[in-house]
Amino acid sequence: MKRLVIGMALGLLLIAPACVAQKQLVLLKGEKVLLRLYIGDEILFKVKGSDTRRRSYVSNVYDTAVLAHTEVVPFHSIERIYFEQRNFRNVVGGLLVIGGVGYFLVDQLNVSVIQGDPSLNQDVTRASIAMAAVGLPMMLIHKKSQRIGGRYRLILAEEGSPFYREDIRRMNIILEN
């Protein structure tokens, strides 16, 4: 009986951290979430009037400010947040590169192995080079930061907020133990 009580108490202690809702720092564009930072995540930002980027981690999030390590930074004083943004253009660029290279390789396989004549078809070569040349910049060029202001704003998201999402990363760590 004593072991059962100790086992249940230990189980509750291990499960309890998964049930605690954490605050989140959310970057919105209108109603779309562009970035979600949890407590403990790294943040790279630039404060208005400063030329330097500050790298820190999110210690806590308040209604109008974020605690970055030991410094409280109000949302309105953050000029820019740096993070890697991906969009539909990057996906289409990747598909063009894969399609161009694949088109060339399939044609070469067809011509060399099946027909037995190892030669380059200029039309296929031009088309595949054009697809890869257009797709590569589309795939590689993406925004690295976002200026705060206008339609872009930082908010605190707590449990019950429409922008709140459970932190799946921390739940997996707890469930593995």
- The arithmetic mean of pLDDT across residues 168-173, rounded, is 62
In the structure, what pLDDT confidence band is assigned to residue 18 with cuts at 50, 70 and 90?
very low
pLDDT at 13 over 80: no
Domain boundaries, the chain: 21-84+145-176, 88-140
pLDDT tens, 97-130? 999 999 999 999 998 888 888 888 899 999 999 9
> What mean pLDDT, rounded, does the chain reach?
85
pTM value > 0.85: no
pLDDT tens, 146-166? 999 999 999 998 888 888 888
pLDDT tens, 43-75? 999 999 999 999 999 999 999 999 998 899 999
H, E, C per residue of the chain? CHHHHHHHHHHHHHHHHHHCCCCEEEEEECCEEEEEEECCCEEEEEECCCCCEEEEEEEEECCCEEEECCEEEEHHHEEEEECCCCCHHHHHHHHHHHHHHHHHHHHHHHHHHHCCCCCCCHHHHHHHHHHHHHHHHHHHCCCCEEECECCEEEEEECCCCCCCCCCHHHHHHHHHC
